[in-house]
A and B are shown apart, each in its own frame.
Chain A
Amino acid sequence: MAQLNMPDGDYFKPGHLGCPGCGAAIAIKFALKALGEKIIMVIPASCASIIVGPYPQSALNIPTLHTAFATAGAAASGVRAALDMKGDTETTVLSWAGDGGTFDIGFQSLSGAVERNEDCIFVCYDNEAYMNTGVQRSSSTPYGMRTTTTPGQDWKKTRKKNIMETMAAHRIPYAATASIAFPEDMIAKFQKAKEKKGGARFIHVFATCATGWGAPSEMSVKIARLAVQTNIFPLYEIENGIQYTLNYKGDRPVEDYLQTQGRFKHLSIADVAQIQKMVTEDWNAVCRKTETTRT
């Protein structure tokens, strides 16, 4: 049996409120294992703000600041500034937002924070829609997905925003994608981010929402793995906005991934072909950047 190289510390305790198979909960578990106990977590409105538990309980064994939806980047900046003024440069400030709190309503404050190169780790755990409010589309929702605000034949006809490229455009020291299906890779990236103190670090975590995606809960990790294996969600890192490193090369057709989830079941063969074309385009773009970096 293969042994995972997993840190012992556990700061996310049993009794949390995630749905069965919740990808966000798995992501929190791994991230906190990687970062250890000297962290302060900032959580804007999101599934995570519910998952970690209501007053007077908490499933987290680290200090947590819950903050308004649009404010993760700014609130984390404030915590960092206060710690620095108190002479505490050791504690890591971890901003933990969903795709709404990162791609949409939180984008401005995130952009402000990373442009200032704030000494924090900014995480987006991405479940590709407003799941906490019942599956409404976000700008992270992929082409082809049906949500409660893109229903019926009005399923989403525009691409998912490329958040990694926006972070690269800010030329931050470190940005990486990670997946709940690749825990060792994910933990290594969080540890690397922690070590790169002194500037803004961004980690984009693919976090399946079985409930919102129309999939059985036991499929959560498998779906996340298929997203990487089909190159729908490539695993890569960008250093200083220009140095790309690809961590995994997928070779499976997108259909293998799309067919596992109810959110895509309305798609025609032509639609699936269209998605394959888009995914290949995006994949080629990442590969080109990786190759350019190497030369």
Chain B
Amino acid sequence: MRQVAEGSQAVSEAVRLAKVQVIAAYPITPQTHIVEVISEFCSNGTLNARFICVESEHSAMAAIIGAASSGVRTFTATSSHGLAYMHELLHWASGARLPLVMANVNRALGPGWNIWLDQTDSLSQRDTGWIQLYCEDSQDVLDTTLMAYRLAESVNLPVMVVLDAFFLSHTYEPVDVPDQEPVDKFLPPYSPRFQLDTGNPGAFNQFVAPHAYMEMRYNIQTAMEQVPENYARIAQEFETVFGRHHSLAEAVRCEDAEIIFVTAGTTVSTCRQAVERLRAQGEKAGLLKLKMFRPFPVDYCRRVLSGKQKVAVVDRNCSFGASGIFAQELRAALYHAESPPQIFGYIAGLGGRDVTPETIEDIYRQTENADKARTENIWIGLDQETVESWRN
């Protein structure tokens, strides 16, 4: 059924349709609408689940780890400081090989306190063993959350569904909310390989000496390597049932493009518009949407970007002392590609600052006019006066 829904509500509807059994969450702006709607579902019986109102995000993750270890489907949602506070347990979840699904609303970290969009919260969790999927619009959010359960349960690794603060979490748009029956067909009940069971006692997550630890880590890596293939299969099945396809990355007008934008989240939509405008002006612009960030879609990026002239990565995040994180990952992915393009790294729109089609066009012109990719980052739209005022 077609509804007008926020990105947040798209998450909640997917959690309801996935028949999640245990939810634990702690409120943080701008994640709250997600958990409020789920609480309502639990309260009015729409969803037969237990909602644990924990006292912190650290406990939220610990609680769903406990629940998933006992063999049920789980969910949590957080953002920014909440995600950072969970960090220890993010490692624990992947090490325990639990198919958790979490929504993270991309929000800036303080100080200064800032509740708006910034991707650094989720991207700085890249080494925790979580699959990360970034969403462009509300439909993408709902569909990705449903696929996330299939994906997580296919490799026994947790999945983070990522959506932009406010631009997506709090923006209303039409969303097709599927009926329960096709969802049940696509997503059968969770069937765990192992669970805490008094009839078959086992020790979970116990002390491990050097003789076996490394093999456990290796298995996480091989499971991650399996993800793109599993994702492709699941996305195909999703399309068969629901008629919508979401690939792990998407090339838009890249065939003859001379400059290709690479970005993730709602900025993809802005870039789609900018590409059309630039094309109308006779420019050969293209776009590569990255939906999957972990594992990084190396093969897809090499296939689309090898032999191209210039790539402009738009990062709404920064790894201080290095660069924008998508740019960093892309440079690593293309190092062994045949005739790799020059990669320009742009940092824009941190802490909720707007990135408009005009911003993207400005990035295009800067990329077009430069002979060589600068090795340092290019920050877009800085107010130099403010920067200078804090220098002394």
Contact = CB atoms under 8 A, between A and B. Distances in A.
A74 B63 contact: yes
Nearest to A50: B207
A163 B154 CA distance: 44
Contacts of A68: 62, 88-89, 92
Given A68-B88, A78-B22, A53 B206 contact: yes
B62 A38 contact: no
Contacts of A37: 198
23 contacts: A39-B198, A52-B206, A55-B209, A63-B201, A63-B204, A64-B201, A64-B202, A65-B69, A65-B196, A73-B59, A74-B54, A74-B66, A75-B63, A78-B24, A78-B66, A81-B52, A82-B71, A86-B72, A108-B55, A109-B56, A109-B62, A111-B55, A112-B54
B72 A85 contact: yes
A40 B70 contact: yes
B58 interface: yes
Contact of B203 (A39, A64, A70): A64
Interface in B17-58: 21-22, 24, 48-50, 52-56, 58
Interface of B: 21-22, 24, 48-50, 52-56, 58-60, 62-72, 74, 88-89, 92, 196-198, 200-209, 212
A77 B206 CA distance: 19
B56 A108 contact: yes
Contacts of B53: 116
Nearest to B70: A82
Contacts, number: 159
A40 B50 contact: no
A68 B198 CA distance: 22
Nearest to B64: A78
A75 B203 CA distance: 15
Nearest to A72: B62
Contacts of B196: 40, 63-65, 79
A276 to B, nearest CB: 38
Contact of B49 (A64, A75, A85, A108): A85
Tier of interface size on chain A = 35 or more
Contact of A82 (B21, B58, B205): B21
Kindly list the 9 A-B residue pairs having the minimum CB-CB distance in the complex, ordered from nearest: A78-B66, A112-B55, A82-B70, A74-B59, A71-B62, A78-B63, A74-B62, A75-B66, A78-B67
A121 interface: no
B21 A67 contact: no
A77 B66 contact: yes
B62 A78 contact: yes
Nearest to B213: A55
B52 A77 contact: yes
A108 B59 contact: yes
B198 A63 contact: yes
Nearest to A58: B203
Nearest to B20: A85
Given A81-B50, A82-B66, A109 B55 contact: yes
Nearest to A109: B59
A291 interface: no
A77 B198 CA distance: 17
Contacts of A75: 62-63, 65-66
B28 to A, nearest CB: 16
A74 B58 contact: yes
Given A77-B52, A78-B67, A81-B67, A67 B62 contact: yes
B85 to A, nearest CB: 11
Interface in A104-161: 108-109, 111-112, 115-116
Contact of A79 (B49, B66, B202, B206): B66
A78 B209 contact: no
A108 B212 CA distance: 33
Interface string A15-55: 00000000000000000000001111010000001101111
Nearest to A42: B66
Contacts of A62: 198, 201
B49 to A, nearest CB: 7
Contacts of A170: none
Contacts of A70: 58, 62, 88
Given A71-B58, A78-B52, A108-B56, A64 B66 contact: no
Nearest to A71: B62
A77 B54 contact: yes
A65 B207 contact: no
Contacts of B92: 67-68
Contacts of B67: 78-79, 81-82
A279 to B, nearest CB: 33
Nearest to A43: B206
A194 to B, nearest CB: 14
Given A55-B212, A85-B49, A65 B66 contact: yes
A39 B48 CA distance: 25
B76 to A, nearest CB: 10
B65 A67 contact: yes
B321 to A, nearest CB: 29
A83 B198 CA distance: 11
Contact of B59 (A40, A66, A71, A81): A71
B90 to A, nearest CB: 11
A118 B62 CA distance: 15
B102 to A, nearest CB: 14
A78 B63 CA distance: 4
Interface string A165-200: 000000000000000000000000000000000000
